[in-house]
Amino acid sequence: MDVQDYIQFLCGLGYTAKQMSAVIRRSQWSCHQQPAELNYPSFIAIFNGTDGSPKAKNFSRVVTNVGDGTSIYKAFLEVPSGMKIAVEPSSLTFTGKNQEQGFVLRVEIDNDAPKVTYGYLKWIDQQNHIVSSPVVVINY
């Protein structure tokens, strides 16, 4: 997480200008991204459940291989009732250390989904290394 990611995080929490200045010790900053678009390992989608339209959100993420050598990670999803999760691509192939790969996760909920729903995306490689990310949906 770099400085701008941290600023975006504070913006997403609704910090006031006074609070922002006190925490980041700057007089100027920019809140130009949606908090959901930060490159965090977890995913949270907030939907307004009062209208009848389907609820869906896409998240883009970039991951970095911290291991040596070739690794192939496959996506495994734990999806509760009322939620749909899809990942594209469904596998990530790394050929060396510090290589980056991107993926998109799509979350969709039914109109009658519970107020809070939890699922998981797990990337598992051939040595059974597991990288787990929670997927949380709030439907209010």
Phi, psi for residue 15 in degrees, rounded to 5: -60, 145
pLDDT tens by residue, the chain, 140 residues:
678 777 887 887 778 889 889 998 888 888 876 655 667 788 988 887 666 666 899 999 999 998 888 999 999 999 998 899 999 999 999 999 999 999 999 999 887 778 889 999 999 999 999 999 999 988 87
Which among 58, 54, 56 has a CA at the least distance from the CA of 111?
A: 54
pLDDT at 140: 78
Contact 85, 123 (CB under 8 A): no
pLDDT at 69: 82
Strand partners, 131: 123
pLDDT at 53: 62
| Region 49-139: CATH code | 2.60.40.2310
Q: How far is CA 47 from CA 59, 95, 127, in A?
A: 14, 38, 37
